[in-house]
Amino acid sequence: MPPASMLIILELFCSSCKDSVEDELELSAARHRPEALEQLEAQTRFSRKELQILYRGFKNECPSGVVNEDTFKEIYSQFFPQGDASTYAHFLFDAFDTDHNGSVSFEDFVMGLSILLRGTVQEKLNWAFNLYDINKDGYITKEEMLDIIKSIYDMMGKCTYPTLKEETPRQHVEIFFQKMDKNRDGVVTIDEFIDCCQNDENIMKSMQLFENVI
Amino acid sequence: MAAGVAAWLPFARAAAIGWMPVANLPMPIAPTNKNKHQDELIILNVSGRRFQTWRNTLDRYPDTLLGSSEKEFFFNEETREYFFDRDPDVFRSILNFYRTGKLHYPRYECISAYDEELAFFGIIPEIISDCCYEEYKDRKRENAERLMDDLEDNKDSKLPNMTFRETMWRAFENPHTSTMALVFYYVTGFFIAISVITNVVETVPCGYMPNQRDIPCGERYTEAFFCMDTACVMIFTVEYLMRLFAAPSRYRFMRSVMSIIDVVAILPYYIGLVMTNNEDVSGAFVTLRVFRVFRIFKFSRHSQGLRILGYTLKSCASELGFLLFSLTMAIIIFATVMFYAEKGSSSSKFTSIPASFWYTIVTMTTLGYGDMVPKTIAGKIFGSICSLSGVLVIALPVPVIVSNFSRIYHQNQRADKRRAQKVQKARLSRMRISKSGSSSAFLHSKRNGLNQSLELTGSLEEDQQLKKTTSLLESQHHHLLHCLEKTTNHEFVDERLYEQGYMQTALQNFPSQSPSLSSEEGITGTCCSRRTKKSMQPLSATHTHSHTHNLQELSALHIQCGERQALNTSRSSLNLMSDESGSLNCKSSGLVTTAIITIPTPPSNNSRASPDAPPPPNPDAPPLPNPGNDVVKISAL
């Protein structure tokens, strides 16, 4: 009907106007410059050259200098094409984003890596505990552990052998708590965790696995 | 794995430390970076222009010339640089591909030169990014068409081996091929024109008979017109029959639009011949003459533009249909309104709503014949609204048709569109394959036994030899995925195998008969540092549930065997070992694999097998002389 078609044309015109305004706001995205190389060298255990290599890789993928959670998830998912790495990437993001401002800057990134690759076993275990403790209250509950383990299993995807069953993550959590929860109070504290891991030969060995990554 | 994120692989590996406390199995050994040169700049000298980049940048795409060891062939010892005797302008785009992960096609480049450079550097054109891909494909298509046209021109002059029929058909389709075809083309065109002109002139009143009104020429010179008509129809009939004879597929030719037009053009004449003297049907005979005007459509064989116009209308059919629908709605509404508005006035021409349709159409198209005019005030008001809105509604379809016509005109042929769609599908599938290449690469390397499950206690020597074929980046990525498998105690399989396994497990719900072993796998495994990789491929329907059982029995036997070898039960060794089933040593991997392969047992055997499972083994038992056979026997029971 002619009047209706006129109305439709007017609406389209208005919505296109609105879009252009919103686009402008997005253009001014965050730009971040990291601290000087000397400062980072002092704060982390990386050499100058290693920091240079790390920064070049970082900046190549994130030209704006910060990683937000979506980019982080995307990058991490590329390493696990068969499964869904987004949940685990979310937990990782929280672990790296130490000041909880919603983005990981190069400093956060490099500090985290310094602990993981060059830290003492104590520091590494601390970091792992921090990763598992989703709400950062100092205790790992069964629910938190279940979430973490489910996200790890999600990364495997559907096509696995043997087929992933519903109760596999829960069983895994049970095994973990049996090992770690010494006083059987249903939560794992940092001391229990570190104690138990230090007594476990396998875990100790695997912590040293990635020494020579950079 | 995309190139840019190669730089983040160290991060992903470091983050894998988060899995370690959760894992129950020990992790495989990390691949070492043997040639640990620091990231160095390399110089690429392309016809004198020097490009410099990091070595790591080029290593991102190991299946191209620059990313693989192939570039060593171009290394110049004296100047310590890589020299390529190629086009430096195109090389810019290629190097940017390594840097940014996106391949762009510069518009000023010739398409074939660009293709050659891509082929030289081992880059497939399908990964051209979306911003430049349309342009690339269009240029490529144009080029291909031009080549094909050239080919056809060359082809037409040759080919002596065509049958007479094929020659005729080609002469009909392409008038330029031979002089005879051209002559035929012009003769038929001439006669179509003559026929149309004759039909028109037939109805013109010419001359006066002394005591009669003027008669049309057709009735005055009946014989002359009849002779002309006969001649034209004869020519058309002969032409149609010749085309029918020459057509490669007669059935398809008869269904084509052009042949239907031909038939409709000549049929009235023959029908007229049959019933000339029958007065009753002479009325129908007159009507048939109308169909003679279809002869004008025969011109579309001679005119490309006409064909495109016809095709445009056909492709705009949906838009036109919608337009017609909205017009109809408007007409009905206005006609109703006018009818009721004019109902009161006397001697109104608006006798019914259908009668008002005529007024509405004439008004909306701004024709305004004036044969129907509203007389009441309300009628005049609504009439003016009707004419104003008519302008808008009629103006709507014209741009649609115009844009469609220009679009089609530029795109040219429908066949090209179809070809482009097929290529798009092929392109997408190739990109998908290269993307899924990363996930399948891991499975592939597992199959090739490159991912020896090296626990931290295992031996390193075998590992070194096998690492040569994969790049360091790939091996590190595979190691990461391997760690994940260990953490979750499940294995990656590819979809096909997963489907098989899934369906077979659904078919056979066989309860596990030794639950204790399976749950304690982890713990006993840790203690005895024996690993049975649960990577048995279900080779036949019978094995799916035999696997868990076999594993338990075999794990027992491994311990019996007393071997401290790293186990490799990956699929490729399954394939390998099947060939060398004769030469069994007491390698545990050999045990596992041959056992699985040589058993074609029905599931019932398992029930007998399980009770015979050996009790928890004595690790000090001496290695059996040929444990393979024993294993086979047990499972084959």
Region of B510 on the Ramachandran plot (φ > 0 left; ψ -120 to 50 alpha; else beta): beta
In order of A110, B474, B508, the CA distances from B606 in angstroms are 55, 40, 12
- Provide the mean pLDDT of chain B: 72
- The burial of B115, by beta-carbon neighbours within 10 Å (0-12 exposed, 13-18 middle, 19 or more buried), is given as middle
User: Which pLDDT band, with edges at 50, 70 and 90, does B447 fall under?
Assistant: low
- pLDDT digit string, tens, across residues B91-135: 999 999 998 888 999 989 899 999 999 999 989 888 899 898 888
- pLDDT digit string, tens, across residues B181-204: 889 889 999 999 999 998 888 888
Instruction: For chain B, positions 381-410, list CB contacts with chain A under 8 A.
Output: 389, 392-393, 396
Residues of chain B with C-beta less than 8 angstroms from the C-beta of A132: 18, 21
CB B228 within 8 A of CB B194: yes
In A, minimum Cα distance to B25 occurs at A202
Residue A25 has a pLDDT of: 47
**A209–B24 C-beta distance less than 8 A:** no
Whole-angstrom distance, CA of residue B587 vs CA of residue B592: 9
- pLDDT digit string, tens, across residues B316-346: 788 788 888 888 999 999 999 999 999 888 8
Query: What b/e sequence results for A166-191 when a residue is b if at least 16 CB atoms lie within 10 Å of its CB, and e otherwise?
Result: eebbeebbebbbebbbeeeeebbbee
pTM of the complete model beyond 0.80: no
Select from B4, B392, B487 the Cβ nearest to the Cβ of A61.
B4
User: Which pLDDT band, with edges at 50, 70 and 90, does B282 fall under?
Assistant: low
Residue B146 has a pLDDT of: 72
ipTM: 0.77
Instruction: For chain B, positions 491-550, list CB contacts with chain A under 8 A.
Output: 491-495, 497-498, 501-502, 505, 522, 526, 534-536, 548
How is residue A55 written in tokens?
A: 């920064």
User: Which pLDDT band, with edges at 50, 70 and 90, does A210 fall under?
Assistant: confident
Stretch B474-486: mean pLDDT, rounded?
84
CB B113 within 8 A of CB B87: yes
Whole-angstrom distance, CA of residue B125 vs CA of residue B112: 12
CB of A56 less than 8 A from some CB of B: yes
Residues of chain B with C-beta less than 8 angstroms from the C-beta of A158: 498
Lowest mean pLDDT among A143-152, B363-372, B566-575: B566-575
Helices B515-528, B543-561: axis angle to 10 degrees equals: 40
Select from B15, B25, B536 the Cβ nearest to the Cβ of A92.
B15
Kindly report the backbone phi and psi dihedral angles of residue B323, in degrees, each rounded to the nearest multiple of 5, phi listed first: -60, -45
DSSP state for residue B38 in the 8-state scheme: P
Whole-angstrom distance, CA of residue B39 vs CA of residue B255: 69
Instruction: Name every residue whose Cβ is closer than 8 Å to that of residue B202 and which is 6 or more positions away in sequence.
Output: B216, B217, B218, B225
How is residue B43 written in tokens?
A: 């110089």
DSSP B391-428: HHHHHTHHHHHHHHHHHHHHH--HHHHHHHHHHHHHHH
- pLDDT digit string, tens, across residues B517-567: 334 333 443 444 344 344 333 333 334 344 444 444 433 333 343 333 333
